[in-house]
Amino acid sequence: MSKKNYSYWLKQSEQLTFARQAFINGQYCDAQSGATMEVTSPRDGKVLTSIAACDETDVDLAVTAARHAFDSGVWSNKSPKQRKKVLQKFAQLIEQNSDELAVTETLDMGMTINDSSNMNLPGSVECVHWYAELVDKLYDEIAPTHPNAVTRIHRVPLGVVAAIVPWNYPLMIACWKFAPALAAGNSVILKPSEQSSLTALRVAGLATEAGIPDGVFNVVPGYGHTAGKALGLHMGVDALAFTGSTRVGGLYMQYAGQSNLKRVSLECGGKTPNIVLADAPDLDAAADGIVLGAFSNQGQICNAGSRLIVERSIKDALMEKVLERVSLLRQGDPLDPNTEIGPLVDASHLSNVARYIDLGREQGASLQAGGQKIEPLSGNCYIEPTVFTEVSPEMAIAREEIFGPVLSVIAVDDLDQAIEVANSTVYGLGAAIWTSHLLKMEKAAKAIQAGVIWVNSHDHGDISSPVGGFKQSGFGRDKSAHAFDKYTEFKTVWVNLSGV
């Protein structure tokens, strides 16, 4: 039996101390205004600590430090091999502190310790290692222009990159952004979500310990409408790498337009369909994928398979399997490694999710499971995994991102209708299809507008394969070598050789 049982994690949680200050120019510091934000755990509603609440003054200090570091060449002019060594050390330090970071994440935003320690932390460490390893294996290009010219195409860093991230996988999504941005030679300012800043603040100190020079990696915790907006509008920021809601993604495009046309990349919301056709090779595997896809991290995943689109002839057989699995999900304290469903991120988000459940009922969907708030611990953040059938594509629960544990089941007659329904939202992040028919699989993969299509699986991923959206799910890609496109610019150098 693993030593990392419930009592191990409880003990870890009791021993925690938190990094509470912003990290600017290699130093932990309070917000200049002295303002702080209280951090409350959704696990039990208890106050964990309070942290710096940065505003535009702090953002300005961070941008000045980041710009100075970039212009000095202390990082941007290091050889890729030197940057690789430092980033490898950074990854090692994150790994050495994995248990502490995993518990911190669980307390801060409610992710189960299982996800946090077995997925979020290993994924974060792997990501930083992967970009460290990649950066000294990228070659520039020579364009085939003319015998009397050498035309080089270089990838160069952009300068100061602001990474703005959400609360659902706080550290891993931050790593998806800062690791390639730093590897490419940029200076980075990370703005974590006000609902989940603790791990970002902790790893800031590890960056310095790893050898990242002062000013190259900064963390400014704060509210979106103050710290986030200040980064969006700052004339000294060269690029915004955003993950979050579609609504706020749109604001960042406005901020860029109102200021210096800084480059924007957006990873936004989703309403992922899981299409199950009558010829699916294994209904048990499909039911497993559907339940995992809809309810992991309490459904708070951009790619959550929140719509099940099922061919009518197998609907009853599939739903029996899905509902049985849902009834077995273990819900409770996220620090217990046996828990599969923990709390939502906070009580106000729970109210949003509950409102959608009410809407589902009012609009005529049939509640098959869940729907109730529960109170395994205090704090008002727990709600049962919820399943609606008889959902039609026009209903709010079929179209809008709920970002909670709510599965909407829509029955269709055939693949063509399934594709039409799958494409009938403003989102296009991911989609899955379960079929054993090669041509149907290819047809769906071609016709569905989404950044990732899974066949006979759901939400599988690897650091080597890109994620990102079509339509209002955004543009630009995280993960894989393609992420460098967000953090580098091409520079052409044309050397005239005539007369040589």
Which residue's CB atom is positioned nearest to ligand NAD? 224
- Selected binder of ligand NAD within 302, 310, 319, 383 (CB under 6 A): 302
Q: Tell me, rounded to whole angstroms, the distance of Cα 449 from its chain centroid.
A: 20
Question: Is-catalytic flag, 375?
Answer: no
Between 114 and 473, name the residue whose CB sits nearer to ligand NAD: 473
Q: Which two tokens stand for residue 173?
A: 């999504």
Instruction: Point out which residues pair with 266 in neighbouring strands.
Output: 242, 475
Q: Which of residues 303-332 bind ligand NAD (CB under 6 A)?
A: none
Which residues from 413-452 bind ligand NAD, rule CB under 6 A?
429
Closer of 186 and 226 to ligand NAD (Cβ): 226
Using the rule CB under 6 A, give the single segment among 18-26, 123-131, 268-276, 489-497 that binds ligand NAD.
268-276
Among the listed ranges 51-59, 73-81, 161-169, 200-208, the one in contact with ligand NAD (CB under 6 A) is 161-169
How far are the Cα atoms of 19, 79, 99, 415 from residue 111, in angstroms, in the given order?
A: 19, 38, 14, 35
267 included as an active-site residue: yes
Nearer to ligand NAD, 168 or 408 (CB): 168
- Per-residue tokens: 318: 């599939």
Q: Which stretch binds ligand NAD (CB under 6 A): 160-168, 278-286, 416-424, 492-500?
A: 160-168
Q: Is 167 a binder of ligand NAD (CB under 6 A)?
A: yes
Please, what is the minimum distance in Å from the beta carbon of residue 478 to ligand NAD?
6
Query: Interface with ligand NAD includes 458 (CB under 6 A)?
Result: no
Residue for token digits 């460290």? 132
Max distance between CA atoms of the chain, in angstroms, equals 82
272 binds ligand NAD (CB under 6 A): no
Mark 396-415 with x for binding to ligand NAD (rule: CB under 6 A) and - for no binding: -----x-x------------
**Cα–Cα separations (whole angstroms), residue 202 to 179, 197, 221, 268, 427:** 16, 9, 12, 26, 34
In whole angstroms, give the CA distance from residue 345 to residue 325: 24
CB of 178 to ligand NAD, least distance (A): 14
Among 106, 117, 120, 243, binds ligand NAD (CB under 6 A): 243
Among 270, 289, 299, 305, interactor with ligand NAD by CB under 6 A: 270
Catalytic residue among 267, 311, 340, 401: 267
Instruction: List all residues 6 or more positions away from 27 whose beta carbon is below 8 Å from its beta carbon.
Output: 214
| Rounded-to-integer distance, Cα 362 and Cα 360, Å | 6
Stretch that binds ligand NAD, among 105-113, 127-135, 163-171, 290-298 (CB under 6 A): 163-171
Between the alpha carbon of residue 216 and those of residues 23, 66, 236, 262, the distances in Å are 11, 5, 14, 19
Binding residues for ligand NAD, total number by CB under 6 A: 31
What gap in Å lies between CA 288 and CA 215, rounded to an integer? 46
CA distance 378 to 444: 45
Helix axes 6-15, 98-109, angle to 10 degrees: 90
The verdict on 342 binding ligand NAD (CB under 6 A) reads no
Quick check: 377 binds ligand NAD (CB under 6 A)? no
Q: Is 166 in the site for ligand NAD (CB under 6 A)?
A: yes
Per CB under 6 A, contacts with ligand NAD among 187-226 are: 191, 193-194, 224-225
Q: Near ligand NAD by CB under 6 A, which window of 27-35, 65-73, 159-167, 453-461? A: 159-167
Shortest separation between residue 90's beta carbon and ligand NAD, angstroms: 22
Q: Which is nearer to ligand NAD, 251 or 367 (CB)?
A: 251
Instruction: Write down the residue that tokens 């952009």 correspond to.
Output: 158
Tell me, what amino acid is at 318? L
Contacting residues for 295 by C-beta, under 8 A, at least 6 apart: 326, 329, 340, 341, 385, 405, 407
Which residue type is seen at 410? I
Q: Check 54, 268, 302, 381 and give the catalytic one.
A: 302
Smallest separation (angstroms) from ligand NAD to the CB of 435: 26
Q: For residues 296-323, b (16+ Cβ closer than 10 Å) or e, as one string?
A: bbbbbbbbbbbbbbbbeebbeebbebbb
Q: Is 462 in the site for ligand NAD (CB under 6 A)?
A: no
Edge-to-edge strand ranges of the sheet holding 430-434: 366-369, 386-389, 406-412, 307-311, 273-276, 430-434, 452-455
Least Cα distance to 418 among 226, 279, 213, 264 occurs for: 279
Regarding 268 and contact with ligand NAD (CB under 6 A), the answer is: yes
Check residue 179 for interaction with ligand NAD (CB under 6 A).
no
For the chain, report the end-to-end CA distance as a whole number of angstroms.
Answer: 73
Interaction between residue 164 and ligand NAD (CB under 6 A): yes
| Two structure tokens written together for 345 | 């991120």
Q: How far is CA 319 from the centre of its chain?
A: 29
Residues labelled catalytic: 267, 302
Binding-site ranges for ligand NAD (CB under 6 A): 164-168, 173, 191, 193-194, 224-225, 228-229, 232, 243-245, 248, 251, 267-270, 302, 401, 403, 429, 467, 469, 473-474
